[in-house]
């Protein structure tokens, strides 16, 4: 699960319902990741407050601005893109409103109740990645026995049936702070 280290939980669990192929699931096949240099997704931006009820901030560092502008125009047609704005050094944020039909799932996910999400929400995520291995989202959302055993072995405890198998969101990690990124 080391490949998930850099991805926020917002990226792992909330990008796909926006129409993105999450970089955390198909890390080598993600069109937005490759073509537009998708960095990560966040629940908040410290420098850009919003009144959007169920926001997802997606950070990019596009290499080709003309192609990216075309992508942004296409995204505006989905009705989910609320606004786009720039940061220094070529970073761009697209602010989305999470789809209405999945608002309850958004709340469940950000509160760490992954397995309680709707069947429709779970159905958005593939069970297998391009290498034929189970995706982390599938394992988490379904409380898969394979993940349960791995967690029990890691923690050296027996987990109850109602225990979620993934840590809850930590708002600090799920908050975009461009200042920290620019200092790297």
Residue 105 scores a pLDDT above 50: yes
Domain total in the chain: 1
User: What's the confidence (pLDDT) of residue 25?
Assistant: 38
Q: What are phi and psi of 11, to 5 degrees?
A: -65, -45
Distance CA 78, CA 46 (A): 26
Domain of 133 in residue numbering reads as: 2-183
User: What's the confidence (pLDDT) of residue 74?
Assistant: 86
Query: Is residue 114 left, alpha or beta, with left meaning phi > 0 and alpha meaning psi from -120 to 50?
Result: alpha
- The number of helix segments (H) and strand segments (E) in the chain equals 8, 6
User: pLDDT tens across 33-46, in order?
Assistant: 667 888 999 999 99
User: pLDDT tens across 16-63, in order?
Assistant: 898 865 433 333 345 556 678 889 999 999 999 999 999 999 999 999
């Amino acid at each position: 699960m080391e490949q998930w280290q850099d991805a926020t939980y917002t990226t792992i669990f909330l990008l796909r319902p926006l129409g993105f192929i999450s970089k955390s699931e198909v890390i080598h096949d993600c069109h937005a990741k490759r073509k537009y240099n998708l960095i990560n997704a966040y629940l908040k931006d410290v420098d850009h407050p919003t009144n959007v009820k169920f926001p997802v901030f997606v950070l990019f560092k596009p290499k080709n601005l003309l192609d990216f502008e075309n992508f942004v125009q296409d995204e505006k047609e989905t009705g989910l893109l609320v606004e786009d704005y720039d940061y220094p050094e070529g970073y761009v944020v697209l602010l989305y409103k999470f789809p209405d039909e999945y608002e309850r799932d958004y709340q469940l996910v950000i509160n760490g109740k992954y397995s309680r999400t709707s069947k429709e929400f779970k159905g958005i995520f593939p069970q297998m990645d391009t290498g034929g291995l189970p995706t982390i989202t599938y394992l988490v959302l379904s409380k898969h026995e394979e993940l349960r055993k791995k967690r029990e072995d890691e923690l050296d405890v027996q987990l109850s049936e109602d225990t979620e198998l993934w840590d809850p969101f930590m708002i600090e990690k799920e908050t975009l702070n461009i200042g920290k990124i620019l200092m790297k």
